[in-house]
Amino acid sequence: MLRGLLVLVVLWSCGGRVAGAYEPRINYMLQCMGCHTPDGSGEPGRVPSVKETLVPFAGSPDGRRFLVQVPGAAQSTLSDAELAELLNWMIQNLSLTRSAGVPPFTAKEVASYRRTPLVAVQATRATLIRQLSGVSSQKP
């Protein structure tokens, strides 16, 4: 029993999936693709692209918090573990810039941000974009 638990914990922290959950690319389709479109480019003027900002945001504490707290993520029907896995998948598969060195999200980290809802989404995003150097300006 204990060994089984240990195995489960190891799988969890390595990004292993909760039994019965969808793969993260499927969760992207079900939770995000409808608005952010299949490759994450969104729709100019209406839905922000995630491609340019995933890695830069994930590289700062404020940015990581935003990626979890943005309502589409925070209010999705995913568990904290599934949301962490999804964010990691998006960083690996949708972002335009290299993701080496970006610490993966964990369920615990997601849970800590997710408890606080974000109200001023556009302003927070704009501030993050201004603060981060080397990111091409992206209008929402």
Q: Least distance from C-beta 46 to other proteins, angstroms?
A: 5
Options 4-12, 26-34, 54-62, 83-91: segment touching other proteins (CB under 8 A): 26-34
Phi, psi for 43 (deg, rounded to 5): -140, 120
Q: Is 133 in the site for other proteins (CB under 8 A)?
A: no
Q: Which is closer to other proteins, CB of 62 or CB of 103?
A: 62
Q: List for the chain the helix, strand, coil content (%; round to 5).
A: 55, 0, 45
Find the binder of other proteins among 45, 61, 101, 134 (CB under 8 A).
45
Site for other proteins in 73-132 (CB under 8 A): 74-77, 117-122
